[in-house]
Amino acid sequence: MALLNGILLYLPFSSYNLWFFIFPGIFMLLRYPNQMHYLLTGFTFFFLSLRCVNIASIEYGGINPFLAYTLFALFCLFLTIYQMNLPLYMWKKTGGRLWLLPVLYTLFEVARSYVPYGGFPWLIVGETSVNFPVVKYSLRFLTVYGESLLIWYMTYLAFKRKFLALLALLSFSFLLGLSAKQEALKALEDAKILKVALLQTAVPQQDKLSDKKFREYTDEMLSMVSQAVKEKPDLVVLPESAFAFFFSDEFDRGRQELFELSYQAPILVGLVDIREGLKPYNSAYLIADGQLVGYYDKIRLLPIGEYMPFPFGFLKDVFSAISGLDYVPGTQKRPIVYKDIKVATPICFEIAYWDLVKELSKKANLIAVLTNDGWFNHSDCSEEHFMWAKVRAIENGKFILWVNNSGDTAVINPFGEVVKKMPYMKSGILIEYVRLLP
């Protein structure tokens, strides 16, 4: 039963997108509130949902598969105890009233989004609400954590057969969703239209990890930028770490050509830079008219991927892709401003942090997420990542430009709907119109 429960919780987050299974998954958690069931359910859920991270560690990180899966299993066990068993333990300690379990589970979702090591805000129950008709718009008011609580209580009322109360809750969430949608529609009425060109560079991850091979794509990608600016867009956007050169490498030919192309259209590009000696930064730069307009340094770095937290420093010796260096986190939570464009630029995994995206987009009228999911191939991890873009679009009431090296590069409107997207690992340019929303 625990294995089945874990699978039911996994399916809504998977590439199958069977979102409706979240309800029987939670129903079973309410039906079997014991530590062993939660332990086996949680481990199954996290193992199935996150097993794709082993693509990064084994295929691209060069870690021995046995070591990789051992560390991964320990990570899944930690997440299980944190998210499943601790809430259950506290629930029993506070009297075992079933109505309290949804509150505790959601509180631990919030807790693990921040602690430890900056948190792991992934596989949050409320994410699945982005698929609910009409109700999904209430994300604008409730946030993803409020939606978690809503889903839990919908299931709880069904479990307790309190159908009148369930109907009342459904009606409330439906009306809240309608209200949020009307607010979003009103904001669209007078919003300025912007023409954007999004570039999906589709450089294979194994080539990005080799400086020599990665540099061989420079001319091809500059040619794509040249084609894009001929469409006369208001903004050209490239993905995270789009080129092999560093931003500060002023004598690099590719960098010089990119700056020349910025005379024809402003270009937002993700690049790694080395500053202050050997301190690397993962950043987004906006260049226009041959000069730097503004930049954003990634603030929430990914543990293991971009830095090694204590006491895991030894992994630098076994994870070759890290190159022994920790990235430096940025400090400025601000949009990049150019004329009428005020663009928030959360980089990659940062899209999962509710507070960071909210702060970045508060003074912005557009959100552009620069990312590279090539680390995970075309797996569940890519789908889970893309789901966050839909959630944040509704929460913040803004268009999101999802610009991915590997795919799927897309434009998402404030209703969480994909307006247009490109197929996985197809090199090309996506041209679309969006609106600048306050």
Helices (H), 81-231: 86-93, 101-112, 139-159, 163-188, 205-208, 211-215, 218-229
Residue 356 and residue 379 in contact, taking contact as beta carbons nearer than 8 Å: no
Sign of CA dihedral 30, 35, 39, 40: negative
Q: What is the DSSP letter of 240?
A: T
- Report DSSP letters for 5-67, one per residue: HHHHHHGGGSTT--GGGHHHHHHHHHH--SHHHHHHHHHHHHHHHHTTHHIIIIIIT---HHH
Residue 214 and residue 203 in contact, taking contact as beta carbons nearer than 8 Å: yes
Residue 35 and residue 88 in contact, taking contact as beta carbons nearer than 8 Å: yes
- Pull the structure tokens for residue 366: 């557009």
Residue 350 and residue 300 in contact, taking contact as beta carbons nearer than 8 Å: yes
Instruction: Find the farthest-apart pair of alpha carbons in the chain and give their distance in angstroms, rounded.
Output: 70
Residues assigned a catalytic role: 240, 298, 348
